[in-house]
Amino acid sequence: MEVIKTLKGGSLSNTKILWDGHNKIVRKSISINNNREYGLVRWQSQIRKLQHLHRYLPEFSVSIKLVGQTDGYYFYDLPYYENHINCYEALLKGESVDVIVNKIHNLLSRLAKISYGSTQGPMGLYIAEEIIFPLQAALEIGTHGRLPINDNELLFFNSSVCEALDIIQKILVKVKNERMQESLTHGNLTLENILWNTETKELLMIDPYAETYCESIMGDVSQLLQSSKSGYEFISNIYDKEDICIHKYPIDKIPKCFVNFSEQLIKKIEVEDWYSDSHLTLFHASQFTRMFPFKLVNSPRQGVAFLMYGINLLKTIQC
């Protein structure tokens, strides 16, 4: 196998474009021994999610070609799609915001129609795992001074996390027994996880996530806002190159194409019967709290900054 290119991987995985002697393939591998909870378990669950999506929405999803192991890693192989870029790149390169929004709206509607019915309590479980747990972990780490931040930043960090825990406990009381409509979801529907065919203008979902705790289509919408309205990928690139201020999220630097995308997407979906503004804000905030344990492994200061932004989003929710 010849390595053509190494791509950015998520959840501690490694993603490469390979040449097998006949065709290009995409191989996603994970360590058998290291960080199994945040790596191997999620990698394996992703295989099941890929199969599930391909069963119900084959025109929007990819199929697994091979699963195997080599040199201390497990891997699975996917087809390589020529003439495809992800939607994050497509928007930056000037592809029509209107067209991409319409296509993604259609995809969301198709996912929502594959209903799992109404369930009582999933939002309470989601909040406990994806907001309260990482906030408590952050407070424990911050209290013991095990973060790459100075003393003044540490005081701000600890007080902000305590305030967020108070807010989310009040929200939890209100929503923990709510009934929620659940459906098929992608689970990590960021702009980078949707491929855009530059010729046919069609979509393909990649890199789904199965451990969502709450199968609400609003979770998928919130991840699109994470990419666009909050510019997560763009801000991450800024954080890689510049000093990070944990007090001020650089939202003013997000390109207009992403802001336009988020505004048009909300206008499209706010008339849907599955739309909920309060749930959307809650899910949106959670995307920046739930990443904290992952960021601690390789980018702890980024983790702090994104957690602070998630807390600011939580503060906008009316308790």
What single-letter DSSP state applies at residue 22? S
Question: Hey, where are the domains in the chain?
Answer: 2-80, 85-314
**Model confidence at 114: pLDDT above 90:** yes
* pLDDT score, position 8: 73
> Tell me, what amino acid is at 144?
H
Q: Cα 89 vs. chain centroid, distance in angstroms?
A: 16
Average pLDDT over every residue of 253-263? 98
Architecture of domain 85-314: Alpha-Beta Complex (3.90)
What's the CATH number for 2-80?
3.30.200.20
97 band by pLDDT with thresholds 50, 70 and 90: very high
Element (H, E) at 297: helix 292-298
Reference 311, options 158, 155, 149; nearest CA is 158
For residue range 34-57, list pLDDT tens digits in order. Answer: 888 778 888 999 999 999 999 999
319 band by pLDDT with thresholds 50, 70 and 90: low
* pLDDT score, position 10: 63
Q: How far apart are CA 193 and CA 45, in angstroms?
A: 16
**Model confidence at 215: pLDDT above 90:** yes
Q: How far apart are CA 207 and CA 190, in angstroms?
A: 10
For residue range 186-201, list pLDDT tens digits in order. Answer: 999 999 999 999 999 9
Average pLDDT over every residue of 115-127? 94
Residue 121, CA distances (Å) to 1, 60, 126, 308 in order: 48, 30, 9, 27
* pLDDT score, position 283: 97
Q: How far apart are CA 123 and CA 139, in angstroms?
A: 23
**Model confidence at 223: pLDDT above 90:** yes
Q: How far apart are CA 288 and CA 230, in angstroms?
A: 10
Give every strand in the sheet of 2-7, ordered side by side: 2-7, 14-19, 24-31, 73-79, 66-70
**Model confidence at 284: pLDDT above 90:** yes
Determine what percent of the chain is predicted with pLDDT higher than 70.
98
End-to-end Cα distance, the chain:
55
Average pLDDT over every residue of 76-99? 96
Residue 194 bridge partners (DSSP): 205
Q: What contacts 115, CB < 8 A, 6 or more positions away?
A: 181, 182, 183
pTM of model > 0.75: yes
Mean pLDDT across the chain: 94
Residue 50 has a CB neighbour count (10 Å cut-off) of 22
The answer to whether 126 and 289 have CB atoms below 8 angstroms apart is no
The answer to whether 109 and 268 have CB atoms below 8 angstroms apart is no
The answer to whether 85 and 195 have CB atoms below 8 angstroms apart is yes
> Tell me, what amino acid is at 281?
T
Q: How far apart are CA 169 and CA 317, in angstroms?
A: 12
Average pLDDT over every residue of 253-268? 98
Which tokens belong to 183? Answer: 């459906």
Q: How far apart are CA 288 and CA 295, in angstroms?
A: 10
* pLDDT score, position 11: 60
Instruction: Give backbone dihedrals phi and psi of 115, rounded to 5 degrees, phi first.
Output: -80, 145
* pLDDT score, position 300: 94
Average pLDDT over every residue of 198-216? 93
* pLDDT score, position 212: 86
